[in-house]
A and B are shown apart, each in its own frame.
Chain A
Protein backbone atom coordinates (compact mmCIF):
# COMPACT_ATOMS: atom_id res chain seq x y z
CA UNK A 1 0.00 0.00 0.00
CA UNK A 2 1.17 3.48 -0.76
CA UNK A 3 0.21 5.55 2.26
CA UNK A 4 0.35 9.31 1.90
CA UNK A 5 1.76 10.82 5.08
CA UNK A 6 1.71 14.19 6.82
CA UNK A 7 -1.26 15.86 5.14
CA UNK A 8 -0.95 19.04 7.18
CA UNK A 9 2.63 19.45 5.98
CA UNK A 10 1.49 19.09 2.38
CA UNK A 11 -0.79 22.10 2.72
CA UNK A 12 2.03 24.09 4.34
CA UNK A 13 4.38 23.17 1.53
CA UNK A 14 1.79 24.23 -1.01
CA UNK A 15 1.36 27.57 0.75
CA UNK A 16 5.13 28.02 0.54
CA UNK A 17 4.99 27.24 -3.18
CA UNK A 18 2.40 30.01 -3.42
CA UNK A 19 4.95 32.36 -1.84
CA UNK A 20 7.46 31.43 -4.53
CA UNK A 21 9.42 28.67 -2.76
CA UNK A 22 10.26 26.26 -5.58
CA UNK A 23 11.97 23.75 -3.31
CA UNK A 24 8.65 23.12 -1.55
CA UNK A 25 7.15 22.15 -4.89
CA UNK A 26 10.04 19.72 -5.29
CA UNK A 27 9.22 18.18 -1.91
CA UNK A 28 5.56 17.78 -2.85
CA UNK A 29 6.57 16.22 -6.13
CA UNK A 30 8.95 13.83 -4.37
CA UNK A 31 6.22 12.77 -1.95
CA UNK A 32 3.32 12.39 -4.37
CA UNK A 33 4.93 11.53 -7.71
CA UNK A 34 4.74 7.78 -7.10
CA UNK A 35 1.16 7.59 -5.79
CA UNK A 36 -0.14 9.85 -8.58
CA UNK A 37 1.67 8.03 -11.41
CA UNK A 38 0.68 4.63 -10.02
CA UNK A 39 -2.95 5.65 -9.57
CA UNK A 40 -3.04 6.94 -13.13
CA UNK A 41 -1.26 3.86 -14.40
CA UNK A 42 -3.89 1.62 -12.86
CA UNK A 43 -6.62 3.87 -14.23
CA UNK A 44 -5.43 3.99 -17.85
CA UNK A 45 -3.19 0.88 -17.82
CA UNK A 46 -0.54 2.43 -20.01
CA UNK A 47 2.78 3.67 -18.64
CA UNK A 48 3.49 6.38 -21.21
CA UNK A 49 -0.03 7.79 -20.97
CA UNK A 50 -0.06 7.62 -17.17
CA UNK A 51 3.19 9.60 -16.94
CA UNK A 52 1.94 12.15 -19.42
CA UNK A 53 -1.25 12.56 -17.38
CA UNK A 54 0.75 12.81 -14.16
CA UNK A 55 2.79 15.63 -15.72
CA UNK A 56 -0.48 17.39 -16.48
CA UNK A 57 -1.60 16.89 -12.86
CA UNK A 58 1.56 18.42 -11.38
CA UNK A 59 1.52 21.20 -13.94
CA UNK A 60 -2.03 22.05 -12.84
CA UNK A 61 -0.93 21.98 -9.21
CA UNK A 62 1.88 24.40 -10.03
CA UNK A 63 -0.40 26.65 -12.06
CA UNK A 64 -2.90 26.77 -9.19
CA UNK A 65 -0.30 27.78 -6.59
CA UNK A 66 -1.41 31.43 -6.47
CA UNK A 67 -5.05 30.60 -5.90
CA UNK A 68 -4.50 27.57 -3.64
CA UNK A 69 -6.43 27.62 -0.37
CA UNK A 70 -6.07 24.71 2.07
CA UNK A 71 -9.81 24.15 2.37
CA UNK A 72 -9.52 20.37 1.84
CA UNK A 73 -6.74 17.87 2.47
CA UNK A 74 -3.97 18.31 -0.07
CA UNK A 75 -4.23 14.66 -1.14
CA UNK A 76 -7.97 15.02 -1.70
CA UNK A 77 -7.33 18.06 -3.89
CA UNK A 78 -4.45 16.34 -5.70
CA UNK A 79 -6.42 13.17 -6.39
CA UNK A 80 -9.40 15.23 -7.51
CA UNK A 81 -7.17 16.73 -10.20
CA UNK A 82 -5.69 13.30 -11.04
CA UNK A 83 -9.11 11.66 -11.25
CA UNK A 84 -10.46 14.47 -13.41
CA UNK A 85 -7.50 14.15 -15.78
CA UNK A 86 -7.83 10.33 -15.86
CA UNK A 87 -11.59 10.34 -16.48
CA UNK A 88 -11.11 12.82 -19.34
CA UNK A 89 -8.43 10.63 -20.85
CA UNK A 90 -10.59 7.50 -20.54
CA UNK A 91 -13.49 9.34 -22.16
CA UNK A 92 -11.26 10.52 -25.01
CA UNK A 93 -9.84 7.01 -25.45
CA UNK A 94 -13.32 5.56 -25.71
CA UNK A 95 -13.94 7.98 -28.55
CA UNK A 96 -10.82 6.80 -30.33
CA UNK A 97 -11.51 3.15 -29.54
CA UNK A 98 -9.24 0.87 -31.43
CA UNK A 99 -5.97 2.67 -30.77
CA UNK A 100 -3.18 0.32 -29.90
CA UNK A 101 -2.62 -0.35 -26.21
CA UNK A 102 0.85 -0.65 -24.80
CA UNK A 103 -0.22 -3.36 -22.37
CA UNK A 104 2.20 -5.89 -23.72
CA UNK A 105 5.09 -3.57 -22.99
CA UNK A 106 4.03 -3.40 -19.34
CA UNK A 107 3.47 -7.10 -18.99
CA UNK A 108 7.07 -7.56 -19.98
CA UNK A 109 8.15 -5.14 -17.26
CA UNK A 110 6.09 -6.89 -14.60
CA UNK A 111 7.45 -10.22 -15.67
CA UNK A 112 10.99 -9.01 -15.06
CA UNK A 113 10.11 -8.02 -11.49
CA UNK A 114 8.88 -11.54 -10.83
CA UNK A 115 11.99 -13.06 -12.41
CA UNK A 116 14.02 -12.11 -9.32
CA UNK A 117 12.47 -15.08 -7.49
CA UNK A 118 13.41 -17.42 -10.34
CA UNK A 119 9.94 -18.84 -11.00
CA UNK A 120 9.47 -21.57 -13.53
CA UNK A 121 8.14 -20.78 -16.97
CA UNK A 122 4.82 -22.30 -15.95
CA UNK A 123 4.61 -20.14 -12.81
CA UNK A 124 5.40 -17.08 -14.87
CA UNK A 125 2.65 -17.90 -17.32
CA UNK A 126 0.13 -18.47 -14.52
CA UNK A 127 1.13 -15.19 -12.91
CA UNK A 128 0.81 -13.37 -16.21
CA UNK A 129 -2.65 -14.80 -16.83
CA UNK A 130 -3.79 -13.85 -13.31
CA UNK A 131 -2.37 -10.37 -13.64
CA UNK A 132 -4.12 -9.89 -16.97
CA UNK A 133 -7.41 -11.04 -15.49
CA UNK A 134 -7.08 -8.64 -12.56
CA UNK A 135 -6.25 -5.79 -14.90
CA UNK A 136 -9.15 -6.63 -17.19
CA UNK A 137 -11.55 -6.92 -14.26
CA UNK A 138 -10.49 -3.48 -13.01
CA UNK A 139 -10.62 -2.00 -16.49
CA UNK A 140 -14.16 -3.32 -16.96
CA UNK A 141 -15.43 -1.39 -13.92
CA UNK A 142 -17.24 1.87 -14.62
CA UNK A 143 -14.65 4.68 -14.47
CA UNK A 144 -15.91 6.15 -11.18
CA UNK A 145 -15.96 2.75 -9.44
CA UNK A 146 -12.50 2.06 -10.80
CA UNK A 147 -11.17 5.34 -9.41
CA UNK A 148 -12.80 4.66 -6.03
CA UNK A 149 -11.37 1.14 -5.77
CA UNK A 150 -7.88 2.28 -6.73
CA UNK A 151 -7.89 5.12 -4.21
CA UNK A 152 -9.27 2.85 -1.48
CA UNK A 153 -7.17 -0.21 -2.15
CA UNK A 154 -3.82 1.22 -3.23
CA UNK A 155 -3.69 4.82 -2.00
CA UNK A 156 -5.31 4.26 1.40
CA UNK A 157 -7.73 7.16 1.03
CA UNK A 158 -10.65 6.91 3.42
CA UNK A 159 -14.34 7.19 2.50
CA UNK A 160 -14.46 10.92 3.26
CA UNK A 161 -11.47 11.65 1.05
CA UNK A 162 -12.76 9.52 -1.82
CA UNK A 163 -16.12 11.27 -1.47
CA UNK A 164 -14.28 14.61 -1.65
CA UNK A 165 -12.41 13.53 -4.76
CA UNK A 166 -15.44 12.18 -6.61
CA UNK A 167 -17.87 14.80 -5.38
CA UNK A 168 -20.27 12.30 -3.77
CA UNK A 169 -21.59 11.74 -0.28
CA UNK A 170 -19.77 9.27 1.97
CA UNK A 171 -22.72 6.90 1.93
CA UNK A 172 -22.76 6.95 -1.87
CA UNK A 173 -19.05 6.06 -1.84
CA UNK A 174 -19.62 3.19 0.60
CA UNK A 175 -22.20 1.58 -1.64
CA UNK A 176 -20.26 2.39 -4.80
CA UNK A 177 -17.14 0.73 -3.37
CA UNK A 178 -19.01 -2.27 -2.16
CA UNK A 179 -20.71 -2.77 -5.52
CA UNK A 180 -17.29 -2.52 -7.16
CA UNK A 181 -15.73 -5.15 -4.85
CA UNK A 182 -18.70 -7.47 -5.39
CA UNK A 183 -18.34 -7.10 -9.16
CA UNK A 184 -14.64 -7.87 -8.87
CA UNK A 185 -15.37 -10.89 -6.67
CA UNK A 186 -17.76 -12.26 -9.29
CA UNK A 187 -15.33 -11.65 -12.15
CA UNK A 188 -12.35 -13.11 -10.32
CA UNK A 189 -14.19 -15.93 -8.50
CA UNK A 190 -12.51 -18.60 -10.60
CA UNK A 191 -9.08 -17.39 -9.44
CA UNK A 192 -9.74 -17.99 -5.76
Chain B
Protein backbone atom coordinates (compact mmCIF):
# COMPACT_ATOMS: atom_id res chain seq x y z
CA UNK B 1 0.00 0.00 0.00
CA UNK B 2 1.28 3.48 -0.85
CA UNK B 3 0.25 5.99 1.79
CA UNK B 4 1.56 9.45 0.96
CA UNK B 5 1.57 10.45 4.62
CA UNK B 6 3.84 7.54 5.53
CA UNK B 7 6.11 7.70 2.51
CA UNK B 8 9.29 9.74 2.32
CA UNK B 9 8.59 10.27 -1.38
CA UNK B 10 5.03 11.38 -0.59
CA UNK B 11 5.27 14.80 -2.17
CA UNK B 12 6.90 13.39 -5.29
CA UNK B 13 4.41 10.53 -5.58
CA UNK B 14 1.56 12.96 -5.20
CA UNK B 15 2.99 15.23 -7.91
CA UNK B 16 3.50 12.22 -10.16
CA UNK B 17 0.01 10.91 -9.54
CA UNK B 18 -1.75 14.21 -10.17
CA UNK B 19 0.24 14.89 -13.33
CA UNK B 20 -0.34 11.24 -14.40
CA UNK B 21 3.41 10.71 -14.67
CA UNK B 22 3.54 7.44 -12.67
CA UNK B 23 3.47 4.02 -14.28
CA UNK B 24 0.04 2.39 -14.71
CA UNK B 25 0.17 -0.07 -11.74
CA UNK B 26 1.26 2.73 -9.38
CA UNK B 27 -1.42 5.07 -10.73
CA UNK B 28 -4.08 2.45 -10.04
CA UNK B 29 -2.74 1.57 -6.60
CA UNK B 30 -2.38 5.18 -5.51
CA UNK B 31 -5.77 6.14 -6.98
CA UNK B 32 -7.46 3.40 -4.99
CA UNK B 33 -5.58 4.39 -1.85
CA UNK B 34 -6.46 8.09 -2.17
CA UNK B 35 -10.15 7.18 -2.32
CA UNK B 36 -9.86 5.26 0.94
CA UNK B 37 -7.41 7.43 2.92
CA UNK B 38 -8.69 10.79 4.15
CA UNK B 39 -5.15 12.12 4.81
CA UNK B 40 -4.02 11.40 1.27
CA UNK B 41 -7.25 12.79 -0.14
CA UNK B 42 -6.54 15.98 1.80
CA UNK B 43 -3.03 16.19 0.33
CA UNK B 44 -4.32 15.62 -3.18
CA UNK B 45 -6.85 18.37 -2.67
CA UNK B 46 -4.15 20.78 -1.45
CA UNK B 47 -2.21 20.15 -4.63
CA UNK B 48 -5.30 21.01 -6.68
CA UNK B 49 -6.11 24.06 -4.52
CA UNK B 50 -2.64 25.42 -5.20
CA UNK B 51 -3.48 25.49 -8.90
CA UNK B 52 -5.82 28.36 -8.10
CA UNK B 53 -2.87 30.58 -7.24
CA UNK B 54 -2.69 32.33 -10.60
CA UNK B 55 0.07 34.76 -11.43
CA UNK B 56 -0.09 38.00 -13.41
CA UNK B 57 1.63 38.45 -16.76
CA UNK B 58 5.10 39.96 -16.63
CA UNK B 59 4.97 43.69 -17.43
CA UNK B 60 5.71 44.46 -21.10
CA UNK B 61 8.54 46.85 -20.16
CA UNK B 62 10.41 44.29 -18.06
CA UNK B 63 13.18 43.53 -20.58
CA UNK B 64 13.63 47.18 -21.54
CA UNK B 65 14.05 48.15 -17.90
CA UNK B 66 16.56 45.36 -17.36
CA UNK B 67 18.62 46.24 -20.45
CA UNK B 68 18.59 49.91 -19.41
CA UNK B 69 19.99 48.94 -16.00
CA UNK B 70 22.64 46.73 -17.61
CA UNK B 71 23.61 49.54 -20.02
CA UNK B 72 23.85 52.02 -17.17
CA UNK B 73 26.02 49.62 -15.14
CA UNK B 74 28.28 49.00 -18.12
CA UNK B 75 28.61 52.73 -18.81
CA UNK B 76 29.62 53.30 -15.19
CA UNK B 77 32.08 50.42 -15.35
CA UNK B 78 33.63 51.64 -18.60
CA UNK B 79 33.96 55.20 -17.24
CA UNK B 80 35.69 53.88 -14.18
CA UNK B 81 38.04 51.71 -16.26
CA UNK B 82 38.75 54.70 -18.55
CA UNK B 83 39.68 56.78 -15.49
CA UNK B 84 41.85 53.94 -14.30
CA UNK B 85 43.50 53.67 -17.73
CA UNK B 86 44.15 57.40 -17.81
CA UNK B 87 45.43 57.58 -14.28
CA UNK B 88 47.65 54.51 -14.57
CA UNK B 89 50.57 56.04 -16.58
CA UNK B 90 50.20 59.45 -14.94
CA UNK B 91 50.38 58.13 -11.40
CA UNK B 92 54.06 57.03 -11.42
CA UNK B 93 55.08 60.21 -13.25
CA UNK B 94 53.26 62.33 -10.71
CA UNK B 95 54.85 60.39 -7.89
CA UNK B 96 58.32 60.81 -9.44
CA UNK B 97 57.77 64.53 -9.91
CA UNK B 98 56.65 64.86 -6.32
CA UNK B 99 59.75 63.06 -5.10
CA UNK B 100 62.07 65.24 -7.22
CA UNK B 101 60.36 68.40 -5.98
CA UNK B 102 60.68 67.23 -2.41
CA UNK B 103 64.35 66.39 -2.84
CA UNK B 104 65.08 69.77 -4.43
CA UNK B 105 63.17 71.56 -1.72
CA UNK B 106 65.02 69.73 1.05
CA UNK B 107 68.52 69.71 -0.39
CA UNK B 108 69.19 72.67 -2.68
CA UNK B 109 68.77 75.72 -0.41
CA UNK B 110 70.29 74.37 2.72
CA UNK B 111 72.80 71.79 1.49
CA UNK B 112 76.36 71.95 2.92
CA UNK B 113 77.86 71.96 -0.61
CA UNK B 114 75.87 74.93 -1.73
CA UNK B 115 76.63 76.71 1.54
CA UNK B 116 80.32 76.01 1.03
CA UNK B 117 80.12 77.33 -2.53
CA UNK B 118 78.28 80.41 -1.34
CA UNK B 119 80.82 81.19 1.36
CA UNK B 120 83.73 80.61 -1.07
CA UNK B 121 82.23 83.12 -3.47
CA UNK B 122 81.74 85.53 -0.62
CA UNK B 123 85.42 85.23 0.45
CA UNK B 124 86.55 85.78 -3.14
CA UNK B 125 84.39 88.86 -3.37
CA UNK B 126 85.79 90.27 -0.10
CA UNK B 127 89.35 89.48 -1.21
CA UNK B 128 88.72 91.22 -4.53
CA UNK B 129 87.32 94.22 -2.70
CA UNK B 130 90.39 94.39 -0.43
CA UNK B 131 92.71 94.16 -3.46
CA UNK B 132 90.80 96.97 -5.15
CA UNK B 133 91.10 99.01 -1.96
CA UNK B 134 94.83 98.36 -1.87
CA UNK B 135 95.16 99.59 -5.44
CA UNK B 136 93.14 102.71 -4.76
CA UNK B 137 94.91 103.67 -1.52
CA UNK B 138 98.22 104.83 -3.15
CA UNK B 139 96.30 106.93 -5.64
CA UNK B 140 94.46 108.66 -2.85
CA UNK B 141 97.72 109.34 -1.01
CA UNK B 142 99.39 111.01 -4.02
CA UNK B 143 96.29 113.16 -4.64
CA UNK B 144 96.40 114.40 -1.06
CA UNK B 145 100.04 115.38 -1.43
Chain A positions near chain B (C-beta within 8 angstroms): 1, 26, 29, 33-34, 37-38, 41-42, 47, 51, 54-55, 58-59, 62-63, 106, 109-110, 113, 127, 130-131, 134-135, 138, 149, 152-154, 158-159, 171, 174-175, 177-178, 181-182, 184-185, 188-189, 191-192
Contact A59:B53 (CB < 8 A) given known A51-B62, A192-B41 = no
Min distance, Cβ B18 to any Cβ of chain A, angstroms: 10
Contact A54:B52 (CB < 8 A) given known A152-B15, A181-B11 = no
* Residues of chain A with a CB closer than 8 A to B73's CB: 59, 63
Q: Are B70 and A134 in contact (CB under 8 A)?
A: no
Q: Are A51 and B53 in contact (CB under 8 A)?
A: no
Instruction: Bin chain B's interface residue count.
Output: 20 to 34
Where chain B touches its partner, the secondary structure class is helix
Q: Are B50 and A29 in contact (CB under 8 A)?
A: no
5 new A-B contacts, CB < 8 A, other than A37-B55, A47-B56, A113-B54, are A41-B55, A55-B69, A109-B56, A110-B54, A153-B15
Q: Give me 9 A-to-B residue pairs in the complex whose CB atoms sit less than 8 angstroms apart, sorted by A's number.
A: A29-B66, A37-B58, A106-B56, A110-B56, A131-B53, A138-B53, A152-B15, A153-B47, A181-B14
Contact A135:B66 (CB < 8 A) given known A174-B9, A185-B43, A189-B42 = no
* Residues of chain B with a CB closer than 8 A to A134's CB: 49-50, 52-53
Contact A188:B46 (CB < 8 A) given known A51-B62, A131-B54, A135-B53 = yes
Q: Are B55 and A152 in contact (CB under 8 A)?
A: no
Q: Are B56 and A41 in contact (CB under 8 A)?
A: yes
Please measure, in the bound complex, the distance between the C-alpha atom of A31 and the C-alpha atom of B8, giving whole angstroms: 32
* Residues of chain B with a CB closer than 8 A to A62's CB: 70
Please measure, in the bound complex, the distance between the C-alpha atom of A159 and the C-alpha atom of B11, giving whole angstroms: 10
* Residues of chain B with a CB closer than 8 A to A130's CB: 49, 52
In the complex, whether B59 has a CB less than 8 A from a CB of chain A is yes
Please measure, in the bound complex, the distance between the C-alpha atom of A88 and the C-alpha atom of B46, giving whole angstroms: 27
Min distance, Cβ A34 to any Cβ of chain B, angstroms: 6
